[in-house]
Chains A and B, each alone.
Chain A
């Protein structure tokens, strides 16, 4: 029976090591390690405030504002890796649409709201 207890002991040990490793690995996999996100802060109103979340090594972004499809302004934005930055846009009335374009390296993302 001593041999059987050895088998039990080793099986339990293998399971503990394997499970601990997989748990550790899952934590490692749960981290977003690339890409960036762009979204409106308030999705239910006409607010154009937006946020950029950055998970890339490059920190410099540029963004453009379009009102009723007309270019209004272009600004730069620095977002550190694993951080997010919120941009406040002044409220405008009687608009047909708002569009935000964000440039990062060679990538472009855009979000917009139509009111008419």
Chain B
């Protein structure tokens, strides 16, 4: 089971993600590390921090003219790690460790809770593994597109120029033009190149999916520790039921085994949705660092928050946009809370408010106005303006993402659709949890600090922002697919859902203590709500199961691509001919480009039929005509203008229009695919 390459793969994950992340955290906090983090938190946060470090190091190296090869990756990561280790060693020998190194006393779990967490993790990873086993062989379209760029980085040792060939019409004639692409961002591709360079593993193998799986597992674990740190502020650890440990374990349960496979979880892993998966890791990581930075007035935590946020913007523009809205909404909710408090104070005749502006500014100045924060901002500005600016800032991607919705799919979901995107029961429990949290915060708990409000409204603001962005995007002038935005709503709602379920449990217990309900009824009621939640979660998992047949069809595509590349691509890695393939009926066709490495649009592709009928985005028709009506005059002009000489189609569906056409040869046939070639007369 353990091959050398697999062991190398595990080593590469450790070396590229865990090691630099761990050592940077160690260098930042030095001998205070145990005061700030528990071992579990360091373990969970290291790969996310490591991912951002790796991206920045490789971008810096690439822009500085270094060849991005094995030597560079081993050397740069080792050097970075040694510097961090040196800083840690130097300061820990010069300073005494604090006498009380474990103020993280509240972040502890009993033996029962520990067993429960381990069982939840076992169940989570087991369910996801079973689901993903049919996707172990990569076939998804998105992942195919991304892996082309990762392979390009590995092959050339340079940061890629995101450009592609497009068919342009000039009157009645057609030609190929090379244009820039707005959708791809460097941070989505580097880690895959890094692992490939270190291990030599083929891109068409298990490793891209396993990296996404790792990101998914750690995003759940981040939600778990974020939930703990939020609930730690709101609820006392002494509370028997509503305590941070119980609530965070329940959050892990809802986010783990329940809904393990639905979007944005294992389904995104098998679908190769890299940007969202990175966003779903780095958004909670950033919120975690920012919340703790404000609570503990720790500028190093604040810098880690800024660093993780920068990682989002270098990885995925949609996640970056959503993150900006999340932060804005958290601040709006917090300010509204402060205004309500100020208004209430007039009636209560109190003299001091917990929302003292001078105190808040004093605390924030401890984060912003420190030498290390200033150095970080300067370095970041140099990086952004002089080394590498995210591609979408320079291109027109920001203009396509901002503005009035251009399609019905971008005009927002209705509540019914939103309900299914988040999960019906999870949404209901999340709303109950949110309302309870607000009520508890306003009427029951006597807050001594504004941090309490910040913790509550981090969850509320997060949930409201992604809900509104999904339901009413036109209010915010954003123009992105609403169903993709809806997946960002899962995480805040599942944290709130755990509060909702505990609220119900607490209510039932109160009714029982007042002898309104008997214990038996109480057990039945709670079991019913728990079973409903579990049933719906597992039902949603079941809906996501995929079939195994597609893998054999994908292998045919790989065989065909290998055959064609072997015969067409010269030793200089070039070809003068062009290929066209169909995307509608061919499995894993997006991966064909990895066999040729000519251009992201090589082979050219006949896209989904609906795309040719989209009135909001008129597009070239050549790819449609050359397969659907190859004998037509307009197709002949397309063949001439694009240089297409080979056409790859499903034999049964699209073979007939070529078979009786004397202008085409049939040079290859497998169980379902054929290659037709323009006859060489």
- A interface residues with partner B (beta carbon < 8 Å): 1, 3-8, 10-11, 14-16, 18-27, 29-40, 42-44, 46, 109-116
| Complex contact B137–A29 (CB within 8 A) | yes
B435 partner residues in chain A, CB cutoff 8 A: none
CB 8 Å contact bits of B546-576 with A (1 = contact, 0 = none): 0010011001100100010001100000000
A40, B677: Cα distance in complex, Å: 12
Q: Which 8 A-B pairs have the closest CB atoms?
A: A26-B136, A26-B206, A35-B671, A39-B668, A4-B40, A3-B114, A29-B137, A18-B129
Question: Would you give 7 A-B contacts (Cβ < 8 Å), ordered by A?
Answer: A3-B110, A3-B114, A7-B109, A14-B122, A18-B125, A18-B126, A26-B205
B327 partner residues in chain A, CB cutoff 8 A: none
A80, B668: Cα distance in complex, Å: 20
| Complex contact B132–A15 (CB within 8 A) | no
CB 8 Å contact bits of B187-210 with A (1 = contact, 0 = none): 000000000000000000110011
B552 partner residues in chain A, CB cutoff 8 A: 32-35
Select B1's contact among A10, A20, A39, beta carbons within 8 Å: A20
| Complex contact A114–B567 (CB within 8 A) | no
Select B136's contact among A25, A32, A35, A39, beta carbons within 8 Å: A25
A26 partner residues in chain B, CB cutoff 8 A: 136-137, 205-206
Closest residue of chain B to A11 (Cβ to Cβ) is B121
- How many A-B pairs have beta carbons closer than 8 Å: the answer is 154
| Complex contact B121–A3 (CB within 8 A) | no
**A23 touching B9 in the complex, CB below 8 Å, given contacts A15-B125, A33-B552:** yes
Interface of B is mostly: helix
Given contacts A33-B552, A38-B669, A111-B669, could you give 14 more A-B pairs where the C-beta distance is less than 8 Å?
Answer: A1-B102, A3-B113, A7-B118, A14-B126, A18-B128, A21-B1, A21-B133, A22-B209, A23-B6, A27-B206, A40-B667, A42-B567, A43-B568, A112-B666
B428 partner residues in chain A, CB cutoff 8 A: none
Any A CB within 8 A of the CB of B43: yes
A3 partner residues in chain B, CB cutoff 8 A: 108-111, 113-114
Task: Please tell me which stretch of B213-221, B292-300, B513-521, B609-617 contacts chain A, meaning at least 4 of its Cβ atoms lie within 8 angstroms of it.
Answer: B213-221
A86, B168: Cα distance in complex, Å: 42
**A113 touching B665 in the complex, CB below 8 Å, given contacts A15-B214, A23-B206:** yes
Any A CB within 8 A of the CB of B39: yes
Q: How far is the CB of A115 from chain B (nearest CB, A)?
A: 6
| Complex contact A113–B679 (CB within 8 A) | yes
A19, B559: Cα distance in complex, Å: 26
Q: How far is the CB of B567 from chain A (nearest CB, A)?
A: 5
Any A CB within 8 A of the CB of B680: yes
Closest residue of chain B to A97 (Cβ to Cβ) is B662
**A15 touching B217 in the complex, CB below 8 Å, given contacts A38-B668, A114-B681:** yes
Any A CB within 8 A of the CB of B2: yes
Q: How far is the CB of B257 from chain A (nearest CB, A)?
A: 13
Closest residue of chain B to A42 (Cβ to Cβ) is B567
Any A CB within 8 A of the CB of B117: yes
Q: How far is the CB of A35 from chain B (nearest CB, A)?
A: 4
A5 partner residues in chain B, CB cutoff 8 A: 39
A33, B117: Cα distance in complex, Å: 41
A91, B110: Cα distance in complex, Å: 81
Any A CB within 8 A of the CB of B38: yes
B668 partner residues in chain A, CB cutoff 8 A: 37-40, 43, 111
A113 partner residues in chain B, CB cutoff 8 A: 665, 667, 679-680
A115, B128: Cα distance in complex, Å: 54
| Complex contact A35–B206 (CB within 8 A) | no
A18 partner residues in chain B, CB cutoff 8 A: 125-126, 128-129, 213
A110 partner residues in chain B, CB cutoff 8 A: 666, 669
Any A CB within 8 A of the CB of B420: no
| Complex contact A30–B118 (CB within 8 A) | no
Any A CB within 8 A of the CB of B670: yes
Closest residue of chain B to A22 (Cβ to Cβ) is B136
Any A CB within 8 A of the CB of B476: no
Q: How far is the CB of A84 from chain B (nearest CB, A)?
A: 11
A46, B559: Cα distance in complex, Å: 23
Any A CB within 8 A of the CB of B10: yes
| Complex contact B206–A22 (CB within 8 A) | yes
| Complex contact A22–B109 (CB within 8 A) | no
Closest residue of chain A to B41 (Cβ to Cβ) is A4
A33 partner residues in chain B, CB cutoff 8 A: 552
Closest residue of chain B to A45 (Cβ to Cβ) is B680
A27, B663: Cα distance in complex, Å: 40
A24, B551: Cα distance in complex, Å: 15
Closest residue of chain A to B669 (Cβ to Cβ) is A109
**A8 touching B43 in the complex, CB below 8 Å, given contacts A14-B125, A21-B129:** yes
| Complex contact B133–A16 (CB within 8 A) | no
Select A10's contact among B118, B664, B680, beta carbons within 8 Å: B118
A40 partner residues in chain B, CB cutoff 8 A: 667-668
A109, B109: Cα distance in complex, Å: 65
B118 partner residues in chain A, CB cutoff 8 A: 6-7, 10
A20 partner residues in chain B, CB cutoff 8 A: 1-2, 6
Q: How far is the CB of B637 from chain A (nearest CB, A)?
A: 21
| Complex contact A1–B39 (CB within 8 A) | yes
| Complex contact A39–B669 (CB within 8 A) | yes
**A29 touching B667 in the complex, CB below 8 Å, given contacts A39-B563, A114-B662:** no
CB 8 Å contact bits of B74-114 with A (1 = contact, 0 = none): 00000000000000000000000000001000001111011
Closest residue of chain B to A96 (Cβ to Cβ) is B662
Within 8 A of A (CB), among B25-83: 38-40, 43
| Complex contact B221–A11 (CB within 8 A) | yes
| Complex contact A37–B680 (CB within 8 A) | no
A32, B38: Cα distance in complex, Å: 48
| Complex contact B567–A44 (CB within 8 A) | yes
A96, B556: Cα distance in complex, Å: 31
Closest residue of chain B to A109 (Cβ to Cβ) is B669
A110, B666: Cα distance in complex, Å: 8
